[in-house]
């Protein structure tokens, strides 16, 4: 009986120790799970951090590429503006030449009209003086040029020498 009591006491102590060990084991497992969770979170954070760093590097590269393209486009626009300004300057110079030529044409037309008037006057004098010719000549026989139809010529200015 003493041995049975001793064995029962030992058995009860072992059951108590078993329960204590089970409790400690569960606490250890919970702590291990928590630590694994924390480490997992750290790994997830590290992975996310690495992914974000890759994205930032890629975005920096894209921004650098876009800056290069923007600078290139700005250079092209500046060149186009310069070409446009140069073209405007050339056009203005040609317009000035055209205006000068128009003025010269108007001056020559006025001189031409004056010459026509002088020829008509001389013809009338010859016809009225002696009538050397039996037929009257038309103006077109003496004048080979025609008056141009177009913009109104400048007024005729006669210079009288004294």
pLDDT for res 131: 57
Mean pLDDT score, 135-141: 47
What pTM does this model have? 0.43
Examine the pLDDT at 114 and tell me if it is beyond 60.
Answer: yes
Q: Is 110 exposed, middle or buried (0-12, 13-18, 19+ CB in 10 A)?
A: middle
User: pLDDT tens across 118-127, in order?
Assistant: 999 999 999 8
Alpha carbons within 13 A on the beta-carbon side of 10: 6
Do 139 and 120 form a contact (C-beta atoms < 8 A)? yes
Number of CB atoms found within 10 A of residue 119's CB: 13
User: pLDDT tens across 35-79, in order?
Assistant: 888 888 888 888 889 999 999 999 999 999 999 999 999 999 999
Do 48 and 40 form a contact (C-beta atoms < 8 A)? no
Do 142 and 123 form a contact (C-beta atoms < 8 A)? yes
pLDDT for res 98: 97
């Amino acid at each position: 009986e003493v041995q049975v009591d001793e064995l029962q006491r030992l058995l009860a102590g072992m059951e108590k120790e078993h329960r204590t060990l089970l409790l400690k084991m569960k606490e250890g497992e919970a702590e291990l799970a928590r630590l694994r969770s924390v480490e997992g979170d750290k790994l997830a954070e590290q992975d996310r951090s690495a992914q974000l760093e890759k994205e930032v590097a890629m975005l920096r590269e894209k921004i650098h590429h876009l800056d290069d393209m923007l600078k290139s486009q700005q250079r092209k626009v500046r060149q186009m503006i310069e070409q446009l300004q140069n073209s405007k300057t050339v056009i203005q110079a040609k317009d000035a030449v055209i205006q000068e030529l128009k003025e010269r044409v108007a001056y020559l037309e006025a001189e031409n009209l004056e010459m026509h008037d002088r020829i008509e006057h001389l013809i009338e004098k010859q016809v009225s003086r002696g009538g050397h010719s039996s037929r009257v000549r038309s103006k077109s026989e003496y004048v080979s040029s025609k008056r141009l139809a177009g913009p109104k010529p400048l007024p005729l200015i006669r210079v009288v020498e004294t």
